[in-house]
Amino acid sequence: MTLMNDLHRPYLRCRSCQERILLPFSTLEEKSIHQAGWPSDTWQRTFLCLRCGHVYVYTQLHAQWEIFRNVDLNPLPKDVDVVLFEIGCATEGCKSPVRFHAAGDILPISTRTAATVAGATFHDVSCDQGHPAQNRPGRAAGTLHIDPRADADWWK
C-alpha cells in the first residue's frame, strides 16, 4: 500500500443536524484538495444541508477530513458535485441574489432537492446588499426560480 492510495475526503459538519455534508476530494487541476492546502484561513462559503434544509455560513473551523487508507474503501467512489444556487432577494426592488451551495450527487436537480431549497431556513445569510435571506423562499408558489449550476471554484 502506498501513500497514493490514501484518500482525504473533506466534509462539513452541518451546524444544525450534525450530518456530514460530503465534499469533492478532487479539484479541476487534478491535484487533490488535500494537496492544495484547503481550506485557507479565509475560505468561507454558505451551504445548504440537504438533510435538514438549514443554510449556514461555513469556514475553515467547520471543515473536517475523513481519511481512507485505500481508495477502494471509500463508500463514495463517485465524486460529488458542489452546486451553486442563486435565489432572488426578498427585499422589494433588490436585484442582488442570495447565493448558497449544496453538495452531493444532485444534478440534475430532483423535485425533492427543489422542495428542500424552497423550504430552506437561513442563518445569518444575506444578499450582497446585506438584506437577510427570507426563510422558506418558495412559500409564494411559482415565485422561486431555481437555476443551479456546478461550481468548480467552491473551494477557493
Using CB under 5 A, list all residues that contact Zn ion: 14, 16-17, 19, 49, 51-52, 89, 91, 94, 96, 127, 129, 131
Cell 484518500, located at residue:
7
Environment class of 14 (CB within 10 Å of its CB; exposed 0-12, middle 13-18, buried 19+) = buried
Q: Nearest approach, Cβ of 7 to Zn ion (angstroms)? A: 24
Strand (E) or helix (H) holding 123: none
Residue 34 or 123 having the CB closest to Zn ion: 123
Q: Nearest approach, Cβ of 129 to Zn ion (angstroms)? A: 4
Contacts of 155 (CB under 8 A, 6+ apart): 23, 24, 27, 33, 36, 38, 39, 43, 82
Rounded CA separation 82/101 (Å):
7
Residue 84 or 103 having the CB closest to Zn ion: 103
Residue 34 or 88 having the CB closest to Zn ion: 88
Residue 63 or 152 having the CB closest to Zn ion: 63
Q: Nearest approach, Cβ of 103 to Zn ion (angstroms)? A: 12
Q: Nearest approach, Cβ of 4 to Zn ion (angstroms)? A: 33
Show the DSSP H helices in 12-146 as ranges: 111-118
